[in-house]
Structures are given as C-alpha cells and as structure tokens.
Amino acid sequence: MNLSFFDQFSSPSLLGIPLILISMTFPALLLPSLDNRWITNRLSTLQLWFINLVTKQLMMPLDKKGHKWAMILTSLMIFLLLINLLGLLPYTFTPTTQLSMNLALAFPLWLATLLTGLRNQPSASLGHLLPEGTPTPLIPALILIETTSLLIRPLALGVRLTANLTAGHLLIQLISTATTALFSTMPAVSLLTLVVLFLLTILEVAVAMIQAYVFVLLLSLYLQENI
C-alpha cells in the first residue's frame, strides 16, 4: 500500500520505452498554431493576452538588457504551467515531480545567467561573493559561504518545485483513498473528506501556477544580478 502511493511518480513506459518525452511535449499541442492572421478566434485571443501578461510580469524586474531573455523565460513559464496543471488530471503523469528533470531545467539556465555576468561585468559578479565593509578575519569564511549559496541555487530551484508538487500529489492521493475507504462504513466522514479533497484540489491548482511562476521569477532575479 505504501509503495502504491509513490507509483504515480515513476515514469510510465510502453514496451520498455519511457513515455516521459510524450508527456513533456503534449502541452505544446495546447498552444495556438501558426496562421496567416494575427487573431483567429477567441481562444487564441485569450492565449495571446495571457502570454502578454506573463511576459510583462517576468520582465518587470529586468532592465532593457534582460529583455533579450523574454522568449526563453516566457516559454519556460508556460511550459511549466501547462505541465503542472495537466498533471492534476486523473491518470496522468507529472514530469515536474522528477528532480532530474527540474535540475535539467534549472542548472543550464542558472549557469547561463552566471556566465553572462562573468562575461559582461566580471568585477561586479565576483564582488557579490564579498560584501563591502567585511572585516578582514571574516573574509575567507564569507567567501566560502557566498560561494556555497551561489552554487546551491539550481539545486534549490529544482528541489523546491519537486517537493511542492510531490507533497500536493501525495496529499490528494491519501485523502482520495480515505474517501473511498470510508464511504461504505462512515458515509458522513467520507463526505467530509470529499469536501476537503475538493478544497485541496483547488489549492493544488494554485500551487501549480505559483510554483511555475516562482521558478521562472527566481531565474529572472538571478539574471538581473548579472546584467
């Protein structure tokens, strides 16, 4: 029984072939297709309005130099948002519950922001490792602490996204299992747990959206430090 709770986090496979790539590319089918006209229907209008809103929010902390990253950050935001929301549907797999995938997204982008800072302003980027006015005896310790905090940023990004989504999926499965188990013996308690399950599902929808936004927002803040 305990192992079955974690079966939902294992990558599905068919004839020994992992299907995680299909689950990662499926959200692209929900995006508007190319057309000769700017606006084709109300759905594409709503999608374009949402993309414009997301782009404005992500570009707000950045100056004009960081606007070159608008396409990458907005695409990543929509990608994570669709995967997180689709993972809440029954009998679906959420790739963002895999730490390996989240680290594969976080590490290259974090490294790109770091290399951008080292190329454009090496003195300022290295200056973040040592705050101004630090006493001389504390300089080695502070450099070590700041370097460690810098290097664990991609790990923190990946673990944060993985932990929040995994905890939410486990809670939903536990409460839904309790609801079905109590239905025949204690219908009143089962109805109460059903209400809790409904509220938790609404909360998880909000968490899926917030975590996608936080992931990309932190990347944009890291970028702002290096441009």
Q: Give 2-54 pLDDT, tens digit per residue.
A: 446 666 666 666 666 666 667 677 777 766 666 666 666 777 778 888 888 88
pLDDT greater at residue 189 or residue 17: 189
Is the distance from CB of 219 to CB of 157 less than 8 angstroms? yes
pLDDT in tens, 71-119: 899 889 988 998 888 888 877 778 888 888 899 999 999 999 988 888 8
**Amino acid at site 5:** F
CB atoms inside a 10 Å sphere around CB 163: 14
Domain spans in the chain, listed from the N-terminal domain onward: 17-30+39-223
What is d(CA 26, CA 28) in angstroms, rounded to the nearest whole number?
Answer: 5
Task: Tell me the pTM.
Answer: 0.81
